[in-house]
Amino acid sequence: QVQLAESGGGLVQPGGSLRLSCAASGNISIVYDMAWYRQAPGNQRELVADITRRGSTNYADSVNGRFTISRDNAKNILYLQMGSLKPEDTATYYCKAAVLTIASYAVKRDYWGQGTQVIVSS
C-alpha cells in the first residue's frame, strides 16, 4: 500500500556532498518516524539518522556533524544532506518510514525503500 522511492545517490569524491531524497506515496494517512539506514558490502545494515514527524533528530556517531536529516511533511519526502563525505560512507542507503495507512485501523507499519547507492571514491 505504501512505496518509498529513494533518489540522489551516485559517485562523489571524498570531501564532497550529496543529497538523498525519499518520497513516500500510496495509501497514506500519516507518516510518522522516518530514518536513513545504510549497508556496505560485508557489513550489517546500520542506522544513519532518524527524524520524528515533529523534526527531532538523531545521528549515528560516524555521521554526526556531517549529515543532516530533514523532512517535508506536506510532501511526505525525507532528505539526507551528506557533506564531508568519506570513503567509509560508501554504501547502499535505505529509507524507512513508519506509516499509518487509511485502512490500517490505527496500526503503524514500517516500510522500506529499495535503496540508492552512494560511492565515495577518488
The model's pLDDT over 53-88, given as tens digits with 9 standing for 90+, comes to 999 999 999 999 999 999 999 999 999 999 999 999
Instruction: Please give the share of the chain, as a percent, with pLDDT higher than 70.
Output: 100
Average confidence (pLDDT) over 8-33: 97
CB distance 32 to 76 below 8 Å = no
The pLDDT mean for the chain works out to 96
* Beta carbons within 8 Å of 99's beta carbon, 6+ residues apart: 2, 24, 28, 29, 30, 31, 32, 108, 109, 110, 111
- Report the distance separating Cα 84 and Cα 67, nearest Å: 8
